[in-house]
Amino acid sequence: MSTQEYRHIVRIVGNDIPGSKKSIVGLTQIKGIGYNFAIAILDTLKINTNTNIGFLSESDVQSIEKLITNPIAANFPIWFLNRRKDIETGTNKHLLTSDIPFTLRNDIERERITNSWRGYRHMYGLKVRGQCTRTTGRKGGAVGVAKAGKPAPTQTAAAPTAAAPTAAAPTAAAAKPAAGKPAEVKKAAPAEKKK
């Protein structure tokens, strides 16, 4: 093949793939096509997996697109597809690119509307497939014993001004107990007995 036939960007099923990628790696960049699916496509079309995707001819690219969009026509096994017995249509098909998250959202929404157990678990963000949730799947803050907080600082009485000292200020400060200490109770002095 001459260098003039090389293309730097190859468009397959709406995805731009760099021409420097190997054909097997380039096909796996399309969402919905994995490594095994890419090998099956290239083996069916008798294309070398190690050739750069930029050297593929236009007819090869069209045949790859045709096989990707309709793998059942190429006698691919049903278990190879990622959407078997679709709930709405009942057909077997293979989803690609943006159809995958769209279908997934519809499936989850249908489960929620029917109030199934799976829909309930999806709604509350819990594990759906029966996994243990005691130690895994926790969301939010840490679970455990909360640490005791520091006591709030107490306000001290305002210091009397030097110009006009008052007698009430010391008694108010003395009457208020210190922070964190219990108030001391003064005992009255015993009265002297008269003789």
Q: Distance between CA 122 and CA 37 in Å, rounded?
A: 30
Nearest to 17, CA basis, from 61, 67, 71: 61
How confident is the chain (195 residues) per 10-residue block, as mean pLDDT?
72 90 92 93 92 91 92 90 89 90 93 93 91 85 69 72 56 55 64 66
Does the model's pTM come out above 0.75? no
| pLDDT (0 to 100) of residue 174 | 53
| pLDDT (0 to 100) of residue 184 | 63
- Characterise 140 by phi-psi region: left (phi > 0), alpha (psi -120 to 50), beta (else): left
**Structural contact between residues 13 and 30, judged by C-beta atoms closer than 8 angstroms:** yes
**Structural contact between residues 158 and 186, judged by C-beta atoms closer than 8 angstroms:** no
Sorted by where each starts, the structural domains of the chain and their CATH numbers stand as: 3-77 (1.10.8.50)
Length of the chain, in residues: 195
| pLDDT (0 to 100) of residue 38 | 93
**3-class state of residue 2 by DSSP:** coil
| pLDDT (0 to 100) of residue 167 | 52
| pLDDT (0 to 100) of residue 1 | 46
